[in-house]
Amino acid sequence: MLSTKSVSGAHYRVGGLKGWEYGNDFQAWASSITFKQGDTLYFEYEANMHSVLEVSEEDYKTCNTRAPITSDGGKGRLVVTLREAGATFFYICGLPAHCSDGHMKVAIPLSLPPTITPSPSPSSTPHSSSSASPAAAAHVLLPLLLLLPPFLLLSL
Ligand SMILES: [Cu+2]
């Protein structure tokens, strides 16, 4: 059943019960979840046995650990809040063999949120009225000029 979730995102332990471990099936784990903007990932593992690198898609595919976007330094716990809706985040273990042989790699695709259109009406109203005022003044002035000649004729 669908239910209205709270605005604060869901929390996920990467890899489920086994966590960030050699040989865990992270793709199966990730494919079972629809990740949303604001969700939080917890990478948990024995410190210094692994690490977590955020990498580019290319480095994810090739298990290249030499050019990470970020690295957690093998502290054993990394908390990541997913911010960019529609983006995909790529994480690999910093030990190349763990990535290539132990499948310690995971791609996290973020779904796009349902289109929420924030109503910008308070800010757009003064903008449109200020741009309309010169035109409005011209419209008032024109009939006034047309009315003047008959009035002048009558008074003469
Ligand atoms: Cu590892």
Report DSSP letters for 32-65, one per residue.
T--B-TT-EEEEE--TTT---EEE-HHHHHHT--
Task: Tell me how far the alpha carbon of residue 147 lies from the centroid of ligand 1, in angstroms.
Answer: 87
Residues 105 and 130 in one domain: no
Q: pLDDT higher for 79 or 129? A: 79
120: in domain: no
Task: Tell me how far the alpha carbon of residue 83 lies from the centroid of ligand 1, in angstroms.
Answer: 25
Model pTM?
0.69
Task: Tell me how far the alpha carbon of residue 117 lies from the centroid of ligand 1, in angstroms.
Answer: 42
1: in domain: no
Q: In the chain, how many domains are there? A: 2
Q: pLDDT higher for 127 or 117? A: 117
47: in domain: yes
Task: Tell me how far the alpha carbon of residue 23 lies from the centroid of ligand 1, in angstroms.
Answer: 9
CA distance 113 to 126: 30
Contact 12, 39 (CB under 8 A): yes
For residue 76, give both structure tokens.
Answer: 């054993």
Range of the domain at 153: 126-156
Model confidence band, residue 112 (pLDDT cutoffs 50, 70, 90): confident
**What pLDDT was estimated at residue 16?**
96
Average pLDDT value over all residues in the chain: 82
Question: Is the pLDDT confidence value at 68 over 90?
Answer: yes
Q: In the predicted model, what is the mean pLDDT of residues 31-46?
A: 96
Residues 85 and 151 in one domain: no
For residue 38, give both structure tokens.
Answer: 């604001």
